[in-house]
Structure 1
Amino acid sequence: MHRAARLLAADPHGLGGAVVRAPPGPERERWLETLRSALPSGTLWRRLPPGIGDDSLLGGLDLAATLAAGRPIARAGLLAEADGGIVVVPMAERLPAGTASRLAAALDAGTAVDRPARFGLILLDEGEADETVAEALADRLAFRIDLNGLAEPPPAEPEPVSDAPEPDPVGSLCALAEAFGIASLRGPILAVRVARALAGDGPIGRAEIVAAGRLVLAPRATRLPAPEEPRPETAEAPPADAPQEQPRAETTDPSAAETPDDVVLEAVRAAIPPNLLDQLLAGGRRLTAAKSGRVGQAAAARTGRPVGCRRGDPRRGRLDLLATLRTAAPWQALRRTGEETRRIVVRRDDLRIRILKQRTETTTVFCVDASGSAALERLAEAKGAVELLLAEAYVRRDRVALVAFRGTGAELVLPPTRSLTRAKRGLSGLPGGGGTPLAAGIDAAVAVALGVRRGGSRPAIVLLTDGRANVARSGEGGRARAGAEALQAARTLRAAGLAALVVDTGTRGEDARAVADAMGARYLKLPRAEAGQLSAAVRAAL
């Protein structure tokens, strides 16, 4: 962790910065102090105030000087003032989307309103369960550091000695990114820069590639590389009287059984923390806010967290006085006449009201495959996860619902609720067995989720299934038709813009993964999922 701080201090703008996930406390302050002490003397250090406006961030009118002079006078923004230094963003998980996009644009261009603004960005993520740092901004930063309960790791063991030539750094890091499911090219680009910084003036070797992969690529992983398939064993020994075949000459050196790329891959894989699934799901696709109903009205609320301002009537919102004065200031010289006695002339078009964002509750819709011989095991997992989530619903103001599908159709076993008594009553009598009407189950979950969204809540669907549909919507059997209808239902879910997580409860992952891909959902392979694991994964996905 401190190694990343020292690397970042050497090239803040080139490496972008870091996302530091930790609550306020000594661990976080110790890491920041390590970074600050490694920076050259006199390096600028700025903290981004919550709710900062564009004028303060990028630059704009100097309000006092403009009012005094009667003409527009510009001033530099915080980003231009931090040129060559570090910008620290507290509570980065609550950063408004507009501010995040402006920070990303400044990182890309190195300027802010035609002023130099080359800085390193530190996003302090306090780890709230229902909020994460904007991925578009985090993607531009080299390091993602989780300090929650983590101590400084021991020194890494030396890499295995290999007689093979040193791998190509660019090719190796790109191959690593592909193996770990990293789609963005910024990951391997930043990893190459880190490897170059580690190597100094010398060539980039295997040790630098491994270190860069561990520091940059491992925290970005969206999947674990698939293990190599074991070689099939011979079915039976040849008869004793059969002629012995001469063994072929071995052309491959036994010491080269593990290629250099495999050595690097395994070393980076070892750097992924045990709770990888939770961390991967935490970066999942978020549900966009609806434009109608109570969710769409949240921007016009009179309570909540300020996220900006807009032109409006103060009788229908809260007046943003500073934004109003900034809008009126450039026009004062034209508005002052001989008969005007007011020092500042404010007109209706200058009035600005605050945009306040309210928190919307989350409703998790569990869609459980209750068919087949393993139904009791799957239902037990779902019941345990639902009860664990309900125990937290009182604090997070969240709800859960349960849809089960078996036989020839699906049913809503538990409507959206946060009542423990009602949930346990509905879960206790849940039956199992029969066919797998997967399309009907997805349709029912989508209907519940859309109703939840119309009511002002944020829905998310958790589908527990092996993906092997064998009952069509009409109730007739047939795997081909049932599978096609299931994929069609999954694509309908995706088109509705619903966040989803597919938990594969089968022994083969092809069918469930195909359903997850069709619905644009996160995929979680848990053939023997514990209730605690599933609950943690769902919380991270939301």
Structure 2
Amino acid sequence: MSASPDATWLQACRAAALLALDPAGTGVVLRARPGPVREAWLDRLRALLPASAPVTRLPAGIADDALLGGLDLPATLRTGRPVAQAGLLARSDGGVVLVPMAERLAPGTAARIAQGLDAGAVEVARDGVATRCPARFGLVLLDEGEGDDEAVPAGLADRIALHLDLDAVPVGALTAALPLRDLAAARAADPDTPPDASETLCALATRLGIASLRAPLLALRVARLHAALEGRAAVGEADLAAAAALVLAPRARAWPQEEEQDERTGEDAPPADEAEGDDNRHEGRQEGEDRLLAAVEASLPPGLLARLLAGDGPRIRSAGAGRAGAVAAAPRGRPVGARPGDPRRGRLALIETLRAAAPWQRLRRGDGEARLRITADDLRIRRLVQRRETTTIFAVDASGSAALERLAEAKGAVEQLLAECYVRRDRVALVAFRGRGADLLLVPTRSLVRAKRALAALPGGGGTPLACGIEAAARLAATERRGGRSPVVLLLTDGRANIDRAGRPGRAQAGADALAAARALAAEGTRALVIDTAARPQDSARALAAAMRARYLALPQADAARLARAVREAAPAA
């Protein structure tokens, strides 16, 4: 059983009311694409928030001084002394911060927002100012990611109580909306909490395979808010059920297969009357957990229960972990700050220059002097970078020699490398060469499932057209480079070529063609890694790595950790 679209929308409306009651204590991860459903939910949230609560949209690529605060340059120049200016988080105190495309949030920005959520304040100590501003804000993370390999940063998602998925809600379901409520009385309420409520939620989280310690705490907070919303003086089972559906259900990683038994280990048996009382309390608590579990089941998205029962629950996605692409200093690109320097060797950062000079004006100016005095030490130039995605191209030797000896082991190594690329959010592609040529089995993609499926279907046997495989990888690398991405080639082979570039057999010509293709790849500046898949390290593979200017790694000596480290080192530096 799973939630219908109408029920999902009603649950989302209830979540909007709970968020409006306590923005800083809840927050929402809203998975929904731009459209009328998402806008209807956001409009409903704005209508429920107090008139004094600001709703601020986080700009993409926001700088630290705009996010956290810093020097108020006009006021500093006017007064001749450092004057602090509040950042976006401090200005959002008591309100809500909307984060569009939260799956693309920079790791540093996500970390600073998480710190603000934990502390309820923002501290700034730079540019001659030192301030601490209250910043108790609610966070609405708009997740517009495609598939499981794009998601909001895990550190923020874990701190957010309510997780909603409105992708399957049609526009027609909006007519089933709950009536808007006056939440003033609910904000002033303080419902009592039963002593065993936290224990029940913790036990339910354990049964659902939820490892986060924040989840049951957030669920308890939501249960209290739900009781206040319904006008109850104490938290009841209906409130716990609503909290379990909104907080625990989206985080479920498993589903109980059978009833758990309460076993006493290492304890003396209590007296009979105490044991009977404990049994009754345990049975009552177990029945309560089962009813909450039924509420969770009714709120699961379609198809999720079947995956949980099969042990294939939602992946714990860690967007933003590792490098998201190569970052190169460039004369053009996105500004990422400023540094001291000569404007003749870069672009003058005027605001940063004035900010550096402003605190010293009172000391530099003479009596009655109004002009601004700037020294060479104040000059700042812009730091510009161009961030590019990384595409990891796997070129796999599927020839007869590799198939007979190490193709199975090579596939296992590639799976480990694919997982490493997935963590870094690289695009991956798969080129296989065998017989008389090379085939592109997988175009560049971020889908780990598609990559593993293409790898599993990789056939083996035939000759070793090594030059064709390297040239196919080089052509794909050139295409990715033209698209603004940074390619890196991972070549898995024993290096023993026996088919030349024209498809004719012959080891001498095939080896020469392979070395020529390797040198051409190196001349293009493509980073590469050669993994020797032979049972024993081969001189031919070493020579190929040298011609390619690539690192050489022998598969028999490469464990998973060493392979992952080698891929990170071969990838363009972030």
Place the TM-score, normalised by the shorter chain, in its bin: 0.5 to 0.7
Measure, in 2, the Cα distance between the counterparts of 1:279 and 1:50.
31
Q: How does 1:274-285 map to 2 (within 5 A)?
A: 274=302, 276=304, 280-281=314-315, 283-284=317-318
| Contact 2:68-2:88 at 8 Å conserved across structures | yes
State the Cα distance separating 1:325 from its structure 2 match: 2.7
Any conservation in 1 of the 2:58–2:97 contact (CA below 8 Å)? Answer: yes
Quick check: 2:17–2:45 contact (8 Å CA) kept in 1?
Answer: yes
Match of 2:360 among 331, 347, 362: 331
Q: C-alpha distance in 2, partners of 1:419/1:93?
A: 20
Compare CA radii of gyration and give the structure with the larger one: 2
Corresponding residue SS for 1:112: strand
Residues 1:197 and 2:225 are matched in the alignment: yes
Task: Verify the 8 A CA contact 1:398 1:418 in the aligned structure 2.
Answer: no
Aligned residues: 388
Residue 178 in structure 1 maps to residue 206 in structure 2? yes
Q: How does 1:37-48 map to 2 (within 5 A)?
A: 37-48=47-58
- Equivalent residue for 1:122? 140
> Could you report, residue by residue, the CA deviation over 1:515-535 in whole angstroms, capped at 9, with x for unpaired residues?
xxxxxxxxxxxxxxxxxxxxx
CA deviations 1:42-93 (Å, max 9, x no partner) are 2222222333333332222211111122211222222222221222223323
Q: 1:38 offset after TM fit, Å?
A: 1.0
Q: CA deviation at 1:105?
A: 1.4
1:224 matched to 2:254? The reply is yes
Spell out the pairing of 1:25-424 with structure 2 (5 A cutoff).
Answer: 25-113=35-123, 114-127=132-145, 131-151=150-170, 168-200=196-228, 201-221=232-252, 223-228=253-258, 259-274=287-302, 276=304, 280-281=314-315, 283-284=317-318, 287-289=321-323, 298-311=327-340, 319-336=348-365, 343=372, 345=374, 347-348=376-377, 350-363=379-392, 398-401=427-430, 418=443
1:184 Cα deviation (Å)? Answer: 2.1
**One-letter amino acid matched to 1:181:** G
Distance (whole Å) between structure 2 residues aligned to residue 39 and residue 72 of structure 1:
35
Secondary structure of the 1:356 match is strand
The alpha-carbon deviation at position 141 of structure 1 amounts to: 1.4
Structure 2 vs 1, CA of residues 181 and 49 (structure 1 numbering), >3 Å: closer, same or farther?
A: same
Is the partner of 2:323 in helix, strand or coil?
Answer: coil
Amino acid aligned to 2:388: R
Alignment pair present for 1:22 and 2:47? no
User: 1:194–1:333: structure 2 CA closer, same or farther, 3 Å change rule?
Assistant: same
**Is the CA contact (8 Å cut-off) linking 2:220 and 2:243 kept in structure 1?**
yes
For residue 317 of structure 1, report the CA deviation from its aligned partner: 5.7
Deviation at 1:287, TM superposition (A): 5.0
> How far apart, CA to CA, are the structure 1 residues paired with 2:141 and 2:151?
11
Residue 9 of structure 1 and its aligned partner are, at CA, apart by: 0.2
Which of residues 23, 40, 45 in structure 2 aligns to 1:12? Answer: 23
- Could you say if the C-alpha distance between residues 227 and 300 of structure 1 is closer, same or farther in structure 2, counting changes exceeding 3 Å? same
State the distance in 2 between where 1:96 and 1:303 align: 20
TM-score by length of 2: 0.55
Query: 1:61, 1:75 within 8 Å by CA — same for their partners in 2?
Result: yes
Higher mean displacement: 171-180 or 121-130: 121-130
Asked if structure 1 preserves the Cα contact closer than 8 Å seen for 2:333 and 2:386, the reply is yes
Q: Distance in 1 between matches of 2:134 and 2:112?
A: 14
Q: 1:345 to 1:303 in 2, by over 3 A?
A: same
Alpha carbons 1:313, 1:351 under 8 Å: kept: yes
Alpha carbons of 1:318 and 1:177: their partners in 2 closer, same or farther (altered >3 Å)?
farther
Letter in 1 for 2:559: A
SS in 2 for 1:289: coil
The structure-2 alpha-carbon separation of the partners of 1:44 and 1:75, relative to structure 1 and needing over 3 Å to count, comes to same
Following superposition, the deviation at residue 497 of structure 1 comes to 8.0
Paired with 2:294 and 2:488, the residues of 1 have a C-alpha distance of: 39
SS in 1 for 2:374: coil
CA-based RMSD: 5.0
**CA separation of 1:67 and 1:28: change in aligned 2, threshold 3 A:** same
Residue deviations 1:431-485, cap 9 Å, x none? 479xxxxxxxxxxxxxx9xxx9xx944899xxxxxxxxxxx9969xxxxxxxxx9
Q: CA deviation at 1:403?
A: 7.5
Could you tell me whether the CA contact under 8 Å between 2:103 and 2:319 is conserved in 1? no
- Is residue 307–residue 357 contact of structure 1 (8 Å, CA) maintained in 2? no
Label 1:279 to 1:9 Cα distance change in 2 as closer, same or farther (>3 A).
farther
Q: Secondary structure at the match of 2:65?
A: helix
- Letter of the structure 2 residue corresponding to residue 120 of structure 1: G
1:288–1:419 distance in 2 versus 1, CA, 3 Å: closer
Instruction: State the alpha-carbon separation in 2 of the partners of residues 428 and 137 from structure 1.
Output: 35
**Equivalent AA in structure 2 for residue 139 of structure 1:** D
Larger mean Cα displacement after TM superposition, 211-220 or 6-15: 211-220
Whole-Å Cα distance in 1 between the matches of residues 236 and 156 of structure 2?
A: 30
Unmatched 5+ stretches in structure 1? 157-165, 230-250, 370-378, 383-395, 405-411, 434-447, 461-471, 476-484, 499-542
Q: Which amino acid aligns with 1:144?
A: H
Percent identity (aligned): 48
